[in-house]
Amino acid sequence: MKKSKKTLVDRRKFLKGAAVGGVATLVASTGVVNAQQSLVARSAPAVPPIPRPEADPSTDVSVLTADRTGSDFMVDVIKTLGFEYVAANPGSSFRALHESLVNYGGNKNPEFITCCHEESSVALAQGYSAVAGKPMMVMAHSTVGLQHASMGIYNAWAGKAPVYIVLGNTVDAAERRPGVEWDHSAQDAAAMVRDFTKWDDVPASLPHFAESAVRAYRIATTPPREPVVLVADSTLQESPIPTNASFHIPKLVLDTAPQGDSGSVMEAAKLLVAAENPVVIAGHVVRSQASMQQFIEFAEALQVPVIDQGGNLPSRHPLNQSLGGRGLIPNADVIIGLDVEDFWGALHNYRDQLHRSSQALTRGNVKLITITSRDLYLKSNYQDFERFQDVDVAMAADAEVTLPALTEAIKKLSTDDRKRVFQDRGTKLAAARQKAVERARVDATYGWDASPISPARLSAEVWNAVKNEDWAGGLNGAEWNYEKYYQRTRLSSAAGVGFAAPSAVGAALAQRKNGRLYVHQQNDGDLMYAPGVLWTAAHHRIPMLWVMHNNRAYHQEVMHIQRMANRHQRGIENAGIGTTILDPNIDYAKLAQSMGWYAEGPITDPKDLGPALKKAVDVVKRGQPALLDTVTQPR
Amino acid sequence: MRELLQRSIVTMALIVLTALLIITMRSVALAKTRAEAGAQSANAAPKAENAPAGNAKNGKAIYTTAGCYECHGREAQGGAGTGPKLGPDPIPFAAFVFQVRTPRDQMPPYTAKVLSDAQMADIYAFVQSQPQPPKADSIPLLK
């Protein structure tokens, strides 16, 4: 029986209709225009009709190739967004886009970074964005790939990182290959990560893809910055592009970040100028060297102590009171929190005993001010937004862009008398900081020659090895002189283990073109989640120096089990079961060597560190990654 | 009559003097007791040298098996954000015991059921036996 033409479902006609229904003007940024124009020109021969019955596709099909497909246009769109790299573990649901990127797109802008796990892809992208200040693209396979990626996405969500994920999927059941492709398809592919992404979309046509791709980029990069997911349906990717069709690619214009209103800014300035003991607690506020200078100007205008959680002030600035700064809280009369991840936690002592209790560190009449974009976008299910803190002035705004106006208001309100008070305060703070530094220096002497190596000794040795280089990354010791914006890698996450290693590779990748020596301290337990990222670094010639913090345990968890065993009065002899990484000890040097790294270790005697570091630094300066397996004290 | 009156006055005077003497002596004794009590209170715990003799070698082993090193480092040098330095020059033994048994803040409690007084004394001997560190100025990397 002949079927009615009306009932035929011709997928490609549907696509064509959807495409032509889009805006018929080709607009694209420089560099892409040529590609698109040539795309249209080369598409001039009509796409051969492909017979398609309603039921099973006919096997009598003579057309087996296509010059251009939807995935090529997707590459045109992607190129307008300025991605340098795309990180991915290959997956068949984005096979057409993969092929288009490396052939049609020339594997450049973006260049493919091969990852061995989707969680690594996302964390690598987050590390890159922390240094480059813009997103990296990630491609993930439907269902299984996104499930692997989900932990990385949650880290990016909690860490306010703009990761841009393109997800393959095959929504049309009639198009799926039998077997595994059904396992790797979903009705609503992005649903599983919707609780911790800022936006997602499933474009049904190529014009739709173009609009949503640009929209997704804007949404991801507007504070609070968060991951986004764009589903690239495999049917859309693999279908030939209709003859003579042209698609509009919206121009990418980034949204300006929201600034605090002038009334609230003035109110905050009045409180800060009048305060005798103001304190600043700052999360990740600055996003450039210029805004670091603005932060310095703000702090110096008030001569206010800064508890710096985000690398906003140079580490040796006299107002940087991060060493022991918590002791300033009880005496503070005004505290301002700038994009602080956990303001309540910064103002309270919490006691993790059988009876959990907390106590405010602040005095009763303290005035609290917050400026944070975190208040602008919350979701319900995952509780990464931390405990609610009642405050006196709350600006739901981006702290970085609000700071210049606040500084200006402070300067206007500061009388000569107040300026003299500020200067006196600054002098005292400089002396207090010097004392704290001296205390840290003396503390480092305890256990100096210990084996396993103390973290303080490790930090001092690594600092000594790189201090005369153009370095970035680094360790946490007090001797590290973070004076330039780019030296810090400002990363935050949901503390999902397995994040540190791939995010460090991403950060080092972003620093590669700057020729900087990237330094990273890597925990052993974290590396074992997805050590394949070592191969990624070697394969892509990403130079970086890793020193292991190899305490042969998931040490945080050892302490948790110890706490429970003590609470239950059973002794802690069994606390190592399930928490330590012993018997056999993992040879991280051999692990790294097997994946193409220069590596040495295990190093247990601190006296061996200096010579080993010298050799490793030389290797990194030649453009290779190098790892030292240093066996360390627990903390 | 007058003689009787004089005797009474003398007797009364003696009684008053005796009473004053007793009161004075008691006051002195009380003051001394309070002073001693105050001194003891000021040193809420005995000095380190008053700690029971412990075995530092045993203490090192117990320090490890009891998990002290997890937060305080294997040489009792302290750990960043986890636990303070314990030795050398530890806090007085009684304060040490008080903290271990009924800790302030985050430290998990070690009751006598899992750590005996004798074991505690051994641990104390171990942290006490830690060598003094080199001066910071004598370490080139810390200059």
Shortest Cα–Cα distance, A326 to chain B (Å):
12
Selecting from B77, B110, B141 the residue whose C-beta is nearest the C-beta of A447 gives B77
For residues A115 and A498, the answer to whether their CB atoms sit within 8 Å is no
Chain A residue whose CA is closest to B101: A566
**Over 50: is that where the pLDDT of A5 sits?**
no
Q: How confident is the model at residue A204 (pLDDT cuts 50, 70, 90)?
A: very high
Q: Among candidates A9, A8, A14, which has minimal Cα distance to A233? A: A14
A8's tokens: 């035929």
A612 and A464 part of one domain: yes
Report if residue A548 sits inside a domain.
yes
Q: How confident is the model at residue B105 (pLDDT cuts 50, 70, 90)?
A: confident
Question: According to the model, what pLDDT value does residue B9 have?
Answer: 52
Length of chain B: 143
At A153, phi and psi to the nearest 5?
A: -65, -40
Selecting from A352, A461, A463 the residue whose C-beta is nearest the C-beta of B106 gives A352
Selecting from A352, A445, A563 the residue whose C-beta is nearest the C-beta of B139 gives A445
d(CA B92, CA A443): 20
Cα A338 to the chain's mean position, in Å? Answer: 19
Question: To which residue do tokens 């600006």 refer?
Answer: A395
d(CA A544, CA A467): 15
What residues form DSSP beta bridges with A598? A626
Report if residue A4 sits inside a domain.
no
CB contact under 8 A, A559 and B71: yes
Which of A397, A414, A439 delimits the end of a domain?
A: A439
**Over 60: is that where the pLDDT of A524 sits?**
yes
For residues A634 and B79, the answer to whether their CB atoms sit within 8 Å is yes
A350 and A220 part of one domain: no
Chain A residue whose CA is closest to B64: A573
For residues A516 and A486, the answer to whether their CB atoms sit within 8 Å is yes
A427 and A514 part of one domain: no
- A620 versus A635: which is more confidently predicted? A620
Question: According to the model, what pLDDT value does residue A103 have?
Answer: 98
* Phi/psi-derived region of residue B22, left when phi > 0, alpha when psi is between -120 and 50, beta in every other case: alpha
The average pLDDT across A99-119 equals 98
3-state DSSP percent of chain B in helix, strand and coil, to 5: 60, 0, 40
Taking only the tens place, the pLDDT of each residue in A426-438 is 999 999 999 999 9
pTM of the model: 0.87
Report if residue A109 sits inside a domain.
yes
Residue A137: give the domain boundaries.
14-46+63-238
Taking only the tens place, the pLDDT of each residue in A307-329 is 999 999 999 999 999 988 899 99
Report if residue A256 sits inside a domain.
no
* Residue/partner pairs of A46-55 with CB below 8 Å, 24 or more apart: A46/A243, A47/A12, A47/A240, A47/A241, A47/A242, A47/A243, A50/A12, A52/A8, A52/A10, A52/A11, A52/A12, A53/A3, A53/A8, A54/A3, A54/A7, A54/A8, A54/A9
A163 and A210 part of one domain: yes
What's the total number of domains in chain A?
3
Q: Give B-chain residues touching A444 at CB under 8 angstroms.
A: 136, 142
Q: How does the average pLDDT of chain A come out, rounded? A: 91
Report if residue A336 sits inside a domain.
yes
Count of beta carbons in the 10 Å neighbourhood of residue B95: 15
Taking only the tens place, the pLDDT of each residue in A579-607 is 999 999 999 999 999 999 999 999 999 99
Read off the CATH number of the domain in which A375 is found: 3.40.50.1220
Domain range summary for chain B, segments of one domain joined by +: 1-42, 48-132
Q: Give A-chain residues touching B78 at CB under 8 angstroms.
A: 443, 446
A274's tokens: 């009048």
The average pLDDT across A481-488 equals 97
Q: B interface mutation test: which of A446, A454, A467 has the most B CBs within 10 A?
A: A446
- By DSSP bridging, strand A357-360 and strand A348-351 are antiparallel
Q: Give B-chain residues touching A568 at CB under 8 angstroms.
A: none
Read off the CATH number of the domain in which A533 is found: 3.40.50.970
A430 and A504 part of one domain: no
Q: Among candidates A623, A622, A582, A578, which has minimal Cα distance to A602? A: A582
Angle (CA) A508 A510 A511, round 5°: 65
A607's tokens: 């006296």
Q: Among candidates A222, A92, A98, which has minimal Cα distance to A144? A: A92
Detail the DSSP E strand segments found in A239-314.
278-282, 306-308
Highest mean pLDDT among A220-229, B7-16, B70-79: A220-229
A479 reaches B (C-beta below 8 A) = yes
Angle (CA) A6 A10 A12, round 5°: 145
Report if residue A183 sits inside a domain.
yes
Helix residue spans in B43-135 (DSSP H): 56-65, 68-72, 93-101, 117-128
The average pLDDT across B25-37 equals 41
CB contact under 8 A, B142 and A460: yes
The helix (run of H) or strand (run of E) holding residue A131 is helix A118-132
The average pLDDT across A501-527 equals 98
A492 and A578 part of one domain: yes
Report if residue A550 sits inside a domain.
yes
Chain A residue whose CA is closest to B105: A351
d(CA A73, CA A256): 28
Q: Which residues fall within 8 angstroms of residue B118, CB to CB, at 6 or more apart? A: B52, B54
Domain B48-132 belongs in CATH node 3.40.50.2300: no
Report if residue A8 sits inside a domain.
no
Q: How far from A219 is each of A80, A130, A192, A255, CA to CA, in Å?
A: 16, 17, 19, 8
**Over 90: is that where the pLDDT of A55 sits?**
no
CB contact under 8 A, B135 and A452: no
Please tell me the number of Cα atoms within 13 Å of A303 on its side-chain side: 16
Question: To which residue do tokens 């670091």 refer?
Answer: A292
CB contact under 8 A, A455 and B71: no
Q: How far from A630 is each of A50, A139, A602, A613, B67, CA to CA, in Å?
A: 62, 35, 6, 11, 22
The average pLDDT across A550-578 equals 94
Q: Give B-chain residues touching A447 at CB under 8 angstroms.
A: 73-75, 77, 133
Q: Which residues fall within 8 angstroms of residue A472, CB to CB, at 6 or more apart? A: A131, A486, A487, A488, A489, A507, A511, A514, A516, A517, A518, A519
